[in-house]
């Protein structure tokens, strides 16, 4: 019960990483305000009385303000904000994307986490401190893991948590990011389906040392650590959870014990 008596907001809770985190947080004792454009209420129903689901746009200030107010009205305050909602925007290149593409991707993926920090931090401070977690990506660390606008937005999230941690000095509010690698979610479903349709399902994740894709619950466990008091001295940090993908520069990988021909 690592989150016993804690109140958390999770955005993007209708599926994937957000849903997995909501279920895990609930199992660890948290009371939850869950948000997504769709299906947040279904996640809440699966959890029971300690969760409430709302349709909300993570990049809209009124929506985020309302979620914080719901946490205070229904559960007495806020201890944890998991700003997880995001969109991929597809894989179009720099010359194919439009200003409108960039504006929408940045609105959801970067302005959304900023709004989460802006409105959650004061409420969390009132409770004596707590944790804000933002979902970034390995695409925010270097090229090759996402489209241009998506990658730029996630690099911005990493910078945001560093800046926010410094801005919140003395508040006892910690701000960290998680950088997932390739995780099987609704967002990445087209990639997985394409590989399986081509008979190449076994090649998914082959570029990382674990040679597999990740599961939403593996990111949820990282979020649980950052949400809990176990990470009480972790602040302004971007935690990478990618099977080792970003640990090296590209090279031809051989299985352990195998030698080059």
pLDDT tens, residue by residue, 233-245: 999 999 999 998 8
Of residues 19, 22, 15, the one with CA closest to residue 7: 22
Helices vs. strands in the chain: H and E counts, helices first:
8, 7
pTM exceeds 0.85: yes
Q: Sign of dihedral through CA atoms 219, 222, 228, 234?
A: negative
Q: Which residues of 50-77 are buried (b: 16+ CB within 10 A; e: fewer)?
A: ebbbbebbbbeeebbebbbebbbeebeb
In the three-class reduction of DSSP (H, G, I as helix; E, B as strand; rest coil), residue 153 is classed as helix
What is the per-residue pLDDT for 54? Answer: 97
pLDDT value, residue 146? 87
Range scoring the smallest mean pLDDT among 11-15, 54-58, 81-85, 144-148: 144-148
CATH architecture of 7-184+215-244: 3-Layer(aba) Sandwich (3.40)
150 given a catalytic annotation: yes
Residues 67 and 8 sit within 8 Å (Cβ to Cβ): no
Burial of 105 (0-12, 13-18, 19+ CB in 10 A): buried
Q: What is residue 185's predicted lDDT score, i.e. its pLDDT? A: 72
Q: Considering the candidates 150, 192, 233, 256, report the single residue annotated as catalytic.
A: 150
Domain boundaries, the chain: 7-184+215-244
* 3 state DSSP class of 114: helix
């Amino acid at each position: 019960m690592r989150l016993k008596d804690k109140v958390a907001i999770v955005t993007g809770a209708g599926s994937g990483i957000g849903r997995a985190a909501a279920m895990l947080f609930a199992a660890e004792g948290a009371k939850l305000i869950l948000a997504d454009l769709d299906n947040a209420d279904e996640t809440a129903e699966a959890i029971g009385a300690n969760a409430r689901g709302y349709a909300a746009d993570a990049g809209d200030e009124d929506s985020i303000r309302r979620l914080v107010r719901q946490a205070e009205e229904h559960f007495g305050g806020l201890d944890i904000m998991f700003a997880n909602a995001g969109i991929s925007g597809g894989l179009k290149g720099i010359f194919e994307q439009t200003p409108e593409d960039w504006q929408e991707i940045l609105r959801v993926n970067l302005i959304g986490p900023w709004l989460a920090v802006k409105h959650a931090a004061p409420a969390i401070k009132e409770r004596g401190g707590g944790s804000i977690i933002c979902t970034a990506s390995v695409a925010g660390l270097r090229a090759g893991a996402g489209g241009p606008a998506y990658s730029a937005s996630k690099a911005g999230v990493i910078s945001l948590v560093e800046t926010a941690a410094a801005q919140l000095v003395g508040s006892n509010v910690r701000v960290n990011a998680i950088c997932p690698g390739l995780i099987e979610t609704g967002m990445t479903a087209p990639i997985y389906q394409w590989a399986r349709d081509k008979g190449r399902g076994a090649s998914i994740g082959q570029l990382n040392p674990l040679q597999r894709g990740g599961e939403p619950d593996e990111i949820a466990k990282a979020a649980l650590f950052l949400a809990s008091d176990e990470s009480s001295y972790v602040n302004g940090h971007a935690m990478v959870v990618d099977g080792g993908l970003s640990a090296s520069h590209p090279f031809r990988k051989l299985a352990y014990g195998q030698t080059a021909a």
